[in-house]
Amino acid sequence: MTGEFKGKDLAEKYEVGELVRRGEIADMYRGRHMFMERPVTLRIVPRALAVDDQIVRRFFHEAKTGSRVSHPNVLNVIDFGSSSDGVVYAVYEGDNGETLADIIQRSGKLESNAAMDIARQSSAGLAALHSQGLVHGNLTPENILVGSDGTENLNVKLFGVGSEGPMTADRPERDIAASDFAYLAPEQCSGAEQVDARSDVYALGVITYETFAGEPPFTGERPSRDAKTHRRGSPAVVVISKRFSGDSRTGAVESSCERSGIEISDGG
Residue 68's CATH number: 3.30.200.20
Among residues 93, 118, 149, the one where a domain terminates is 93
Among residues 55, 73, 93, the one where a domain terminates is 93
Among residues 73, 93, 113, the one where a domain terminates is 93
In the prediction, which pLDDT does 172 show? Answer: 47
Q: Are residues 175 and 244 in the same domain?
A: yes
Q: Are residues 82 and 103 in the same domain?
A: no
pLDDT at 60 over 90: yes
Q: Are residues 121 and 212 in the same domain?
A: yes
In 152-248, beta strands by DSSP E: 154-158, 238-241
Residue with more model confidence, 99 or 191 = 99
Q: Both ends of the chain: CA-CA distance in Å?
A: 44
Contacts of 5 (CB under 8 A, 6+ apart): 16, 27, 29, 42, 44, 87
Q: Are residues 152 and 231 in the same domain?
A: yes
Residue type, 76: N
Q: Are residues 20 and 125 in the same domain?
A: no
Q: How far apart are CA 207 and CA 158, in angstroms?
A: 13
Q: How many folded domains does the chain comprise?
A: 2
pLDDT at 59 over 90: yes
Domain that holds residue 39: 9-93
Residue type, 43: R
Q: How confident is the model at residue 165 (pLDDT cuts 50, 70, 90)?
A: low
